[in-house]
Amino acid sequence: MHKNNMARKTAAREAAIFAGGCFWGVEEEFRKLPGIIETKAGYSGGHTQRPTYEEVCSGTTGHAEAVQIIFDPEKISYDELLKVFWESHDPTTLNRQGPDIGTQYRSAIFFSSQEQQKMAEKSKSSLEKSGKYLHKRIVTQIVPAAEFWPAEEYHQKYLLKAGLESCKV
């Protein structure tokens, strides 16, 4: 029995998908956290199959640059991931993060369960009530997870490969 319990804990995995601007920076924010098993830059929330970076950047596919996070819920909770998400970008700018402009840079939480949806909505509501953004409205979408399409290999762990800490100049 002890071995079975250990196996379940070792095999614990959940997925989360967040969009908060350029996926290079979002991926890096999550990649280095304890309890993260894997991160993958990609595209979600659009209407075309297997979009390419160029197609997503054109703004015609409806996809957001997003990051899929596989995590061990025994080591890091979904609530902790939400906290990092909110702190890693400006959720009050519609279709924009810094110099990046377009619907592909929108702020979104793609939930995969009712529990994730409730947690995301509660965290958004708490942030709105906190007064952190004064009179600005949080525009982050909280929507059902759509198909996640991994980005091209050169986008994966881009900042790590380039020896950079963030996208900020």
* Catalytic center residues: 22
Q: Say if CB 70 and CB 14 are below 8 A apart.
A: yes
Distance linking the first and last C-alpha atoms of the chain: 53
With CA atoms as reference, report the closest residue to 116 among 87, 77, 90: 77
With CA atoms as reference, report the closest residue to 115 among 149, 142, 85, 84: 142
How big is the chain by its Cα radius of gyration, in Å? 16
